[in-house]
């Protein structure tokens, strides 16, 4: 049981994406895509998580996702808990299946206003993999 082996369901330390990652110290670089995308859906463990006492630190995921939304001028969607997924061989459109969102899914608006909880992202991973995403 992989879930039993996880000792803490916390995140917010950044995203492992590209060589530099997406961190509090470099999120402003994402202005390069400002105005070119409407939505960014982050499939990552607890990217939108901020545990009590981590506000304003490098473990403040809500701040990081909010900053990403501001710098890209896009709505950013991120969950606040570990995202479990299955891997499969032989799927027609990939190997990953995320299923339902774990924890709360948040929409971080580009206006810098506080995030709001939403029931789903505008585009789900399964839609992208199936080729049915808008």
Q: Which residue has the higher pLDDT, 57 or 1?
A: 57
Cα–Cα distance, 100 to 85 (Å, whole number): 9
Pairing of strands 39-41, 75-79: parallel
Which pLDDT tens digit goes with each residue over 76-98?
999 998 777 777 666 665 566 77
What is the total count of domains within the chain?
1
Residue 2 located in a structural domain: no
Residue 57 located in a structural domain: yes
Task: Work out the pLDDT band at 3, boundaries 50, 70, 90.
Answer: very low
Residue 69 located in a structural domain: yes
Give me the helices (H) in the chain, please.
61-72, 125-130
Find out whether 62 and 48 touch, Cβ atoms under 8 Å. Answer: yes
User: Mean pLDDT over residues 20-35, rounded?
Assistant: 88
Torsion sign, CA atoms 89, 85, 33, 74: positive
Domain extent, residue 37, equals 9-130
- Rounded to two decimals, what is the model's pTM? 0.81
Residue 47 located in a structural domain: yes
């Amino acid at each position: 049981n992989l879930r039993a082996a996880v000792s803490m369901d916390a995140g917010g330390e950044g995203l492992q994406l590209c060589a530099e990652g997406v961190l509090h110290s470099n999120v402003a670089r994402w202005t390069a895509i400002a105005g070119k995308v409407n939505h960014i859906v982050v499939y990552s463990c607890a990217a939108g998580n901020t545990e009590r006492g981590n506000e304003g630190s490098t473990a403040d995921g809500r701040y990081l996702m909010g900053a990403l939304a501001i710098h890209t001028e896009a709505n950013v969607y991120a969950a606040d808990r570990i995202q479990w997924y299955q891997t499969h061989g032989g799927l027609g459109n990939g190997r990953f299946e995320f299923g339902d969102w774990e924890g709360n899914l948040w929409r971080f608006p580009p206006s810098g206003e506080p995030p709001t909880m939403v029931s789903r992202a505008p585009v789900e991973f399964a839609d992208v993999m199936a080729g049915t995403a808008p």
